[in-house]
Amino acid sequence: MSLPQECEMQQPWLAIALGNSRLHWARFESGAIAARGHSPHFKGSETRESLEQRPWWPEVRSGLPLVVASVVPQQLRRLARYLPETSPMYRLTTDSLPLQGLYPGLGLDRGLAGLGAGERWGFPVLVIDGGTALTLTGFDEERVLVGGAIAPGVALQCRALCKGTALPQQPNLLIDGALPPRWASDTGQAIRSGILYTLLAGVQGFIQQWRRRFPDSAVVFTGGDGAMLASGLSQIAPELGADWCVDPDAMFWGMALIWMQKKTVQT
């Protein structure tokens, strides 16, 4: 799916989202995402050679417009330091968001994902972002923030459990797309069961309560673990109907909408 038709004649541009644990990028052409990927965070010791190994860096050197959203100030400062002087950069902030009722300190990534998901799938919308943090963010039909919740994400829970105990790391919580046994008979399965079923039960409760308030609302899963959470939820709670969307690019679509509006105003 691409952006509305009025965006299709825009020149190519690059979206960079500096997240909590890594960098996400997408190249837009004619209103659609032509390429996307992830990169490690910038190090303080980056060199020209190390930057050139990033697949999106040649786009920056070519002078492609760069739209940046960051939740890590240090990473934003490093990006600005490494950028060539000829590279135009447009930085997004929460003030850029055409949404209502935002509270001070709301994560820019949550707002952008809410905007992108709502524009693509409709408001009201509940966005479930399975990233480093698991966030749930709801907007009503007038684009007003209803509220949300933040919890440690899947991988962060795994790392915290293993760091704080002698338990082993479990890299794959879903094996071949299937949930582990709820009542596990070995340590690895018990870790998978404990993390996944408690997380999914919490998400299930939020969706049920949200739909009592907004029965016709879109529910959108995004983030690196979004598809896994949606798959697991459909297995433990088929009564929910699984009529939700998995959109890993929700935040990028939010960035694109703001960039489109900015370019429309300029022209």
- 227 and 161 together in one domain: yes
Q: Is residue 256 part of a domain?
A: no
User: Does pLDDT of 169 surpass 80?
Assistant: no
Q: Is residue 262 part of a domain?
A: no
Each residue of 248-267: pLDDT tens digit?
A: 999 999 999 999 887 655 54
255 in Cβ contact with 115 (< 8 Å): no
Q: Which has the closest alpha carbon to 16: 89, 118, 119?
A: 89
For residue 7, what pLDDT is reported? 45
Q: Is residue 85 part of a domain?
A: yes
Which H or E run contains 23? strand 23-29
Reading the block at residue 193, the tokens are: 């069961």
Q: Is residue 64 part of a domain?
A: yes
What would the DSSP string read from start to end of 81-95?
Answer: HHS-TT--EEE--GG
pLDDT confidence tier of residue 239, bands split at 50, 70 and 90? confident
For residue 23, what pLDDT is reported? 93
- Across 195-214, average pLDDT: 95
For residue 162, what pLDDT is reported? 78
pLDDT confidence tier of residue 174, bands split at 50, 70 and 90? low
Say whether 218 counts as a known binding-site residue.
Answer: no
For residue 151, what pLDDT is reported? 95
Q: Which has the closest alpha carbon to 144: 130, 129, 125?
A: 125
Say whether 90 counts as a known binding-site residue.
Answer: no
Reading the block at residue 8, the tokens are: 């299709």
Q: Is residue 259 part of a domain?
A: no
Q: Which has the closest alpha carbon to 168: 190, 152, 153?
A: 190
Beta bridge partners of 260: none
- 110 and 189 together in one domain: yes
Say whether 108 counts as a known binding-site residue.
Answer: yes
Q: Is residue 216 part of a domain?
A: yes
Cα distance from N-terminal residue to C-terminal residue, the chain: 25
- Across 196-220, average pLDDT: 95
Q: Is residue 255 part of a domain?
A: no
pLDDT higher for 190 or 266?
190
251 in Cβ contact with 222 (< 8 Å): yes
Q: Please give the C-alpha separations between residue 35 and each of 15, 245, 260, in angstroms, as whole numbers.
A: 10, 21, 18
Distance CA 42, CA 83 (A): 12
- 69 and 111 together in one domain: no
For residue 6, what pLDDT is reported? 44
Reading the block at residue 169, the tokens are: 């790391």
Say whether 231 counts as a known binding-site residue.
Answer: no
- Across 182-208, average pLDDT: 91
For residue 47, what pLDDT is reported? 85
**Domain holding 16: CATH number?**
3.30.420.40
- 48 and 116 together in one domain: no
Among the ranges given (114-118, 145-149, 200-204, 240-244), the one the predictor scored with the smallest mean pLDDT: 240-244
pLDDT higher for 126 or 21?
126
Say whether 172 counts as a known binding-site residue.
Answer: no
What would the DSSP string read from start to end of 196-242?
Answer: HHHHHHHHHHHHHHHHHH-TT-EEEEESTTHHHHHHHHHHH-GGGTT
Distance of CA 143 to the CA centre of its chain: 19
- 118 and 63 together in one domain: no
- 142 and 167 together in one domain: yes
For this structure, is 225 an active site residue? no
- 155 and 68 together in one domain: no
Provide the residue range defining the domain that includes 28: 5-91
Domains in the chain, number? 2
User: Does pLDDT of 142 surpass 60?
Assistant: yes
- Across 164-179, average pLDDT: 67
- 140 and 235 together in one domain: yes
User: Does pLDDT of 173 surpass 90?
Assistant: no
pLDDT confidence tier of residue 82, bands split at 50, 70 and 90? confident
- Across 74-86, average pLDDT: 88
Say whether 247 counts as a known binding-site residue.
Answer: no
98 in Cβ contact with 115 (< 8 Å): yes
Compute the mean pLDDT over every residue in the chain, rounded to the nearest whole number.
Answer: 88
User: Does pLDDT of 175 surpass 60?
Assistant: no
Say whether 24 counts as a known binding-site residue.
Answer: yes
Roughly what angle, to the nearest 10 degrees, separates helices 187-213 and 226-236? 80
pLDDT confidence tier of residue 5, bands split at 50, 70 and 90? very low
109, 225, 247, 249: the catalytic one is: 109
- 238 and 107 together in one domain: yes
Say whether 129 counts as a known binding-site residue.
Answer: yes
